[in-house]
Chains A and B, each alone.
Chain A
Amino acid sequence: GAGVSQTPSNKVTEKGKYVELRCDPISGHTALYWYRQSLGQGPEFLIYFQGTGAADDSGLPNDRFFAVRPEGSVSTLKIQRTERGDSAVYLCASRMGSNTGELFFGEGSRLTVL
């Protein structure tokens, strides 16, 4: 497709379960970002990839959160032992190589932890 695609759009899980969220960026975009948006808040930076490597993972809240981008395209955000506080909309964005370029966002994956 033409835009950033995220799946699933909605995920409901139970506390303690493992969750994977997928992001398919715009073709040719080398940079990929994950953000988390809680109710009433702005997007909060989690991690940034340039190609296959995580260039900045300083926003990951703890070691339950992990993200990969093995082939430099699709990325998966993995959350282990989910907690109720992990409930949020997880946003993915991609960009062309230059850091002056526009970030293109997906519609997000809404995660609800019961």
Chain B
Amino acid sequence: AQSVSQHNHHVILSEAASLELGCNYSYGGTVNLFWYVQYPGQHLQLLLKYFSGDPLVKGIKGFEAEFIKSKFSFNLRKPSVQWSDTAEYFCAASNFGNEKLTFGTGTRLTIIP
């Protein structure tokens, strides 16, 4: 069955630390990959997405993610986090041509000032 795994449930970092959140997917065929973020009290919004081409994808607010096909991974990174990055982060995937987007369980990120 198609699935998305996020193994980090809660990550706590100090400001200026580097961030990497793990995401692994289990999909056959061509896969589309996404990271969504939910800031406290706000709705889910898209951080970045990968469909094809350069496996290193840059998103908003200095975030990036790398698609590694051999590892079925799409980890999210940021070199230096800020307090305002405190949020819940969701990895998601779909098969190309399929509208059904499957989400991981999410990683809660807490940044300590």
Contact = CB atoms under 8 A, between A and B. Distances in A.
B97 interface: yes
B interface, by DSSP: helix, strand, loop or mixed?
loop
B51 to A, nearest CB: 6
A20 interface: no
Contacts of B92: 42
Contacts of B32: 100
Interface residues of A, number: 27
B101 A42 contact: no
Given A107-B43, A108-B43, A45 B101 contact: yes
B105 A40 contact: yes
A62 interface: no
Interface of B: 4, 6, 32, 36, 42-46, 49, 51, 90, 92, 94, 97-106
Contacts of A105: 36, 43-45
A45 B49 contact: no
Interface in A74-98: 91, 93
A87 B98 CA distance: 28
A48 B99 contact: yes
B49 A99 contact: no
Given A31-B99, A56-B99, A99-B98, 4 more contacts: A42-B92, A43-B103, A56-B100, A103-B101
B105 A42 contact: yes
A102 B100 contact: no
Contacts of B36: 105
A91 B42 CA distance: 12
A100 B51 contact: yes
The 10 closest A-B pairs by CB, nearest first: A42-B103, A105-B44, A107-B43, A105-B43, A102-B46, A43-B103, A42-B105, A48-B99, A42-B106, A42-B104
Contacts of A35: 103
A1 to B, nearest CB: 13
A99 B104 CA distance: 20
B97 A58 contact: no
B27 to A, nearest CB: 14
